[in-house]
Structure formats: structure tokens, C-alpha cells
Chains A and B, each alone.
Chain A
Amino acid sequence: MWTLRPIHYLMVAPVHLLLLVFIFLPALYVGWLSLTHSTFGGPPEFVGLSNFVTLLGDRIFWRSFWNTLIVVNVVVYGELALGLGLALLMAGWVPFKRVVIAIILAPYAITEVTTVVMWRYMLEPDVGMINYALKSIGLGQIEYSTDPFTALMVVSVLAIWQHLPFTFLILYAAVTTIPSELIESAKVDGATPWQTFWHVTLRLILPAVFVALMFRYIFAMRIFSEVWLLTEGGPARMTEVLAVYLYRQAFRYHEFGGASATGWMLLLLSLVIALPYLRAMYVKLFRHV
């Protein structure tokens, strides 16, 4: 009964059909579109690499590229530091542990739209809670609508708030599987807490750290809603990220060719970052075949 029959291929077919029809083939088609001049109505017209040339000569493209790079790195490493600290903290003695973990998980359940709502509310000039507090202790205010760098930092904080549960959970799961004898024996050998962390804990959770890093890099690069709902990329397109740039190209200026070129750059960047993980998975999968 354990022989592979055609029915089994039929059973995996729906999943692959969905992936092919709605992700893989459209993505390939975007590759073709990126080589065309394409707008509403008219058929795409082949123009070679000119979309990419235009893109690389566009100041705003580069700005959104660097903005994305800044936000992604602040988000990913900020999350890693906070998530790791939190995982170590939660692995020890914590009162009402289940409740605390539930609260830490809560932002995962919130839509990005509401995340923007709550942070915009707290950051309203003069009257928002955070700005009111900052002002009353004489630290000035956070003005994200006029200062692009501040806006990018606010976007990063939002994204960290939203996605910390993911990073935390992956690292927490890894930390809790470390056998406590290992930690104890390091202590018996006279290791300081820092040495124990550096030589024992971190070594053992390193694979989980890399997985968390890779996934967060790839997901953070897609960042759209936080920027779109906070600044719409403004003022003067100073705070656009790649996804916002693409959206504007496609759905405001109807330049599907140029947007496709941006999309392909986003895709290639993702794949480059995912390469070590993909390689590891490939080796793991095909080891038994």
C-alpha cells in the first residue's frame, strides 16, 4: 500500500496549481513585462533593458532603494536584539508566564492599518501621548510628517512592534530546547553569565537566529502599508520604499513596464538573501532521495 500512485500526484496538484498560476507564472511574466513598454490598454511593446536603465538613472528610485535598505536593517537587527533579549528573559523565571507570552504575541494579531492608527494617535503633534510626554520633559517632538529621517525611524519602530512576535517566537522556541544541563555545567565550570551566553546559548541557537534573520530580511523588504498609511512616501517622495515606488509607478502612473523592472529587482534581492537558506533546504531535501 505504500507505493506512490498517480492519485498521490493528483493530491499535491492543487497546491502546485495555485502556486504556479498565481505566483510563479505571473512572476515570470513580470520578467517579460520589465523588458517592455506597457501601459493600460495597449499591448506591451519590447524595449529591451531600457526600463532598467531608466530606473537606475532615477533619483527617486535610488532614494527608495536606500530608504528600504535603512528601514530593513534597522528593523531586522532591532528585532533580533529585542527578540533575543526577550527570549532569554522569558526562558527564566516569569510570573504569569502564559499571560505575558500572550501579550507579547498580541501585535501579531493586529492589522498594519490599526498599527498605523495607534502610532499616529500617540504621535499627534502637541496632543498625542508620546509627543505630549516628550514635550513636557523638554525633549521636543517627533515630527514624522516633515522630517524624512524621523519618518523612516517611525516606520521602523512600527514594523518592529508589529513583527517582534515572529522573531521572538522562533528564538524563544530555540532557547527553550537547550538542555539545562549544558547551562548548569558551564556555570559549574565557572563561566560568567556572559561567557555562558556567548559560548553555549548563542552557539546552540545560531541556526534559529539565521532562519529568523533570513525570513525577516525577506519580509521586511516588502514593507508597504506602514509607509503608505503614515506618509504616502512624502514629503516630496522622500520616504518612499521600493514597494511604494512600485505601487506608484503601476497604479498611479500606469507604467507597468517600469514597475515590473522594480518588481524584478525586489525579487532578485529576495532570492539573493534567501540563497543560503534555499541551498541548505535543497541539500536537506535531496539527501534522502
Chain B
Amino acid sequence: MSDTWRTRAIRLLLILIAVVWSGFPIFLVVMSSFKDVREIFAVPPSFVFTPTLDSYRRLGQLWPAFYPNMLNSLIITTGATVLTVVVTSMAGYVYARYSSRLLTGSAFFMIFVRMFPPIIITLPLFPAVNLLGLSDTHVLLIVLYATFFVSLGTWIMRAFIEQIPRELEEAAFVDGADLFKTLTRVILPLAAQGIVASSIFVLVFSWNEFIFALIFTTRVAKTAPLIISEMLSTADGVEWGILFAAATIQLLPVLVFVIAVQRYVVAGLQAGAVKG
């Protein structure tokens, strides 16, 4: 492409705008978490300052529940991701290799159910969950989060497993491997990219989800986004420094993860949304 210097300059400017638009608010949160409280609303805004860990110290003192809630997020996210990977690997394999009217019908059912707005299921679930004593438990959120991603996950796994040559399975079968062995020794190692791709979506969702956590947790299983939202709506004024420190701790691990696996995000979306 033979761009003139002028079109190049315009391109660069537009790219710069896009980068600032996407990145600056996040940068601002992380940067401000290291600011002295008085510096946070400095007028005009300051970008050069002596970093301090003061906000992080006070986060631990004033919101002692924050770190246990981070741990809850970790447990719930791990659980939901593992559950999703296990059930979608099995289902994705079957959809990749076999077909029947019933299977096709059930595949359509999976796509159909994806259109349901999650909030509506809280209505019957809320009393049922209270009755069963499942309210405010990790396992409830694990199962709910996984449920909303098994459909996408199955679709992604199917797309990846389809590309594995059947001959490999036939060879394993001749060697006397049963279905379980074939799956765990032949298929899954080769579909590792699919596992990563389908994990990303449920992982990011579970780590960040707000409304189910708001409705179904109160104390024991409360997640990080929920306690951050509480910091945002305290009656006696928001403590921005603490809020930024908490938000930074919550966002950095998953941000690093998403950037590390960015090419699988594209692959997953392609397999999940566009292909039939």
C-alpha cells in the first residue's frame, strides 16, 4: 500500500484516538491508585507525582472483606471455568463427530437458549435457592456462570475438534484405547487451543459479573465486583483512592490474561458466533 505521508498522519492520529479512548480510563484508575488522596482530584489533573501505597494500605484496613472477596471471585471463576471446560469438551466432541436429528435439534436448542436474558431466571430461582439453602454459596454462582457459557463453549469446542483428523482416533481405537482414553489422550491435547478459547469467555464473565452476585450473595460468597460497587455507593462520600486500589487489584490479573490470549478471543468469537 502506497500511503502518502498525509494519509499516514491521519491514520496515526485516528489510531492514537482509539488507543486513548480504550486505554486511558484504565490507565487512569491504575495511576490514581498510587496517588496521594489530595492529589486525586488535583485541579488541573496531575500526571507527575510521587507514588504512594497509601490507598492500598487503607483498603486493607477499612475494607477487610476485600481480600476474602477476591478469593471468592477466584474460587467461583475457577470452578465455573473448570465446569464449563469439562462439560463442553464432552459435548463439543459429540457434535463434531456424530450427527442425528435429535443431536441437531439439541444443537438448535442450545443456540435458542442463548437468547434468553439472564435476569429473568433470578425470579423463580431466588425463592427456590433460599428454600434449598443455596443462597450465598460459591457453588450456586459456579453453576449459574457456567450455564450461561456452556452453549458458546460447546460451539467453540466443536469447531476446534472438527479440525482434528478422524484417523488419529481410529488409530487409537485399533490400539485398544476406549472412548475415555481417546478423549483425554488424543482429542483434548490437540484441542487445547479450543479449551483456551472457550475458557476465556466464561472466565472473564465470572470474574466480572455483577447482577447475579448482587442478587444471590450477601456475605459468604460475595465477589470482588460487588464489594467494589459498595465502595462506590457509600453514604458518607466515596473514598476514591481506596476504590482505585481495589479496582486495580481486581482488574490487573484478568487484563493481563486477556492480552496474553488475545488471538484466541478472535478464534473463539468466530467459532461461536459466526460459523453455523
Residues of A within 8 A of B (CB): 1-2, 4, 7-9, 11-12, 14-16, 18-19, 22-24, 26-27, 29-30, 33, 40, 85-86, 89, 92-95, 98, 100-122, 124, 126-129, 132, 136, 161, 164-166, 169-170, 172-174, 207-208, 211, 215, 218, 221-222, 224-225, 229, 243, 246-247, 250-251, 256, 259-260, 263-264, 266-267, 270-271, 274, 278, 280-282, 284-286, 288-289
Contact = CB atoms under 8 A, between A and B. Distances in A.
Contacts of A164: 22
A171 B25 CA distance: 24
Interface residues of B, number: 104
A117 B249 CA distance: 14
Nearest to A10: B90
Contacts, number: 289
Given A112-B208, A121-B240, A246-B119, A2 B98 contact: yes
B91 A14 contact: yes
A221 B117 CA distance: 8
A278 B14 CA distance: 37
Complex A-B, nearest 4 residue pairs according to Cβ-Cβ distance, in ascending order: A111-B208, A263-B120, A284-B276, A11-B90
Query: For the complex, would chain B's binding face be called helix, strand, loop or mixed by DSSP majority?
Result: helix
Interface of B: 1, 3, 8, 11-12, 14-15, 18-19, 21-23, 25-26, 28-29, 32, 41, 43-45, 86-88, 90-91, 93-95, 97-104, 106-113, 115-127, 143-144, 146-148, 150-151, 154, 166, 169-170, 173, 179, 204, 207-211, 215, 224-226, 228-229, 232-233, 240, 243-244, 247, 250-251, 254-255, 257-259, 262, 265-266, 269-270, 273-274, 276
Contact of A118 (B8, B28, B215): B28
A168 B181 CA distance: 40
A1 B170 contact: yes
Nearest to A247: B119
B13 to A, nearest CB: 11
A286 B105 CA distance: 8
A100 B18 contact: yes
B251 A114 contact: yes
Contacts of B121: 22-23, 26-27, 30
Contacts of A2: 97-98, 166
A19 B109 contact: yes
